[in-house]
Amino acid sequence: MVIQGLRAPQTEDILPDKWYNILPDLPEPLPPPRNPDGSIVSPKELEAIFPRSLVEQEISTERWIEIPEELRTIYLELGRPTPLLRARRLEEALGTPAKIYFKYEGVLPTGSHKINTALAQAYYNKLEGTKRLTTETGAGQWGSALALAGAMFGLKVRVYMVRVSYEQKPYRRIVMQTYGAEVVPSPSPYTEAGRRILEQDPDNPGSLGIAISEAIEDALKNPDTKYSLGSVLNHVLLHQTIIGLEAKRQLEALGEYPDVVIGAVGGGSNYAGLAYPFIYDRLRGKSETRFIAVEPRAAPSMTRGEYRYDFGDTAGMTPLLKMHTIGHRFVPPPIHAGGLRYHGVAPTLSILVNNGIVEPVAYRQTEIFEAATFFARTEGIIPAPESAHAVKAAIDAALEAKKRNEKITILFNLSGHGLLDLKGYQDYLEGKLRDAEPEKIDLSYLPKLE
Ligand SMILES: *Cc1c(COP(=O)(O)O)cnc(C)c1O
């Protein structure tokens, strides 16, 4: 017997041949990146650390951007289109009349959506003669993706990994090394920024901000080297739209269209990837779909932050971006969803939040792991702690539909699996998980830019 609507078709035709760029469709123009003195950062300045084609994508007003055939082939070889699955056993366990579908990015080789942009970035760098890429990584999901992308396109990759993670989370470091990347604990002796810190404090545990400073300094000093970023920027978000474009075609084949689209937000790339192709319809008045973006209460940029200019990194090295921020100096409590601890959010997503198109919600990590465990026991997949935020919001939407007896269709992004994040599950199962959230958010130190 064939059960209708459990699994959408997965063929080459499902993978799109163009990315969707939301810039020309935004309800208001995107404020430009600025320097601390207020001057606008020029594309030329960005080309010091990024290849020209990615800077062009960053500011492009073309709605559709061709995916190069060579890259599209690699997407197919690595397992795209990813499955769109129906969580039927979860629906039954909740007793909801709602249908719950999820796009599963965890089947990709490094276990999350991040490889989608890593491959694109490696491709364009290779095309423009870059020999070597640098980046930073905290937990290691982004570093793993870039390490694999470097291996596939013949680029050297150096990953500055926050020292505490390097020592305490060896498995993702080993993943990166297996792909041939050079992983150095940050602060490192390879950069001035690193040496300065090590001189004063040889046991400094490092931070994402220090690692970013080192990766950028390395790229600026070596002419054959560029820097690579895994979220927040427009070119990164648009590479991820293959997720939503595939989901649209897969749902269409099942005769479905989502009433609610849900995803977890760190910098915003996996959520934008799933949601923007559907927001395209809503902005044209063709749907009334709700869009729910989920963040942790521990790092509540969208729900408690302010919309203003802030640095992209904790060290204040990058241009200032106008976005919802809780301040680059904010140090979030050490929750297990490391990928959601970012202080800001993608500027395009901020505009959609301001215009009431995307609704932000925030959850505690105990309720996140409860939802993730329930999902694992019904659907079999152990979600990444980041992705579990989307699972929790999908469950809540399904329970609300049950209360109102509404047969809605829910779509969420399961951005990655949690098989390298078992410490969080261990703490949850042993009752050791703690919740924490900032009491107040101080932004008085931020530059005052309009
Ligand atoms: C990095 C990561 C995130 C958060 O980053 P976004 O840019 O907001 O997508 C979410 N889920 C997983 C599995 C990640 O690795």
Average confidence (pLDDT) over 138-161:
96
DSSP secondary structure string for all residues of 262-326: EEE-SSSHHHHHHHHHHHHHHHTTS---EEEEEEETTS-HHHH-EEEEEESSTTS-SPEEEEEES
Please provide the average confidence, as pLDDT, over all residues in the chain.
94
CA of 114 to the centre of ligand 1 (A): 7
- The residues, ordered by sequence, that sit 6+ positions from 148 with a Cβ below 8 Å of its Cβ are 109, 110, 115, 118, 179
Best mean pLDDT range from 340-349, 401-410, 429-438: 401-410
Structural domain boundaries of the chain? 81-111+235-429, 115-229
For residue range 180-209, list pLDDT tens digits in order. Answer: 999 999 999 999 999 999 999 999 888 877
Please indicate whether residue 386, judged by its CB atom, sits closer than 6 Å to ligand 1. Answer: yes
The minimum-distance atom of ligand 1 relative to the CA of 268 is 8
- Test site for ligand 1: of 146, 274, 340, most ligand atoms within 8 A of the Cβ: 340
pLDDT at 3: 57
pLDDT digits (tens, 9 = 90+) for 228-279: 999 999 999 999 999 999 999 999 999 999 999 999 999 999 999 999 999 9
CATH of 115-229 given 3.40.50.300, 3.40.50.720, 3.30.1490.20, 3.40.50.1100: 3.40.50.1100
Percent of the chain with pLDDT over 90: 85
Please report the pLDDT score of residue 1 as a whole number: 44
pLDDT of amino acid 81: 97
Quick one: pLDDT at residue 5? Answer: 67
Residue 58's pLDDT band (cuts 50, 70, 90)? very high
Q: How confident is the model at residue 338 (pLDDT cuts 50, 70, 90)?
A: confident
For domain 81-111+235-429, the question of CATH label 3.20.20.70 is answered with no
CA of 307 relative to ligand 1 center, distance in Å: 21
pLDDT tens digit string along 65-81? 999 999 999 999 999 99
Two domains, one topology: 81-111+235-429 and 115-229: yes
Token pair listed for 48? 């010091």
The stretch 378-391 carries a mean pLDDT of 98
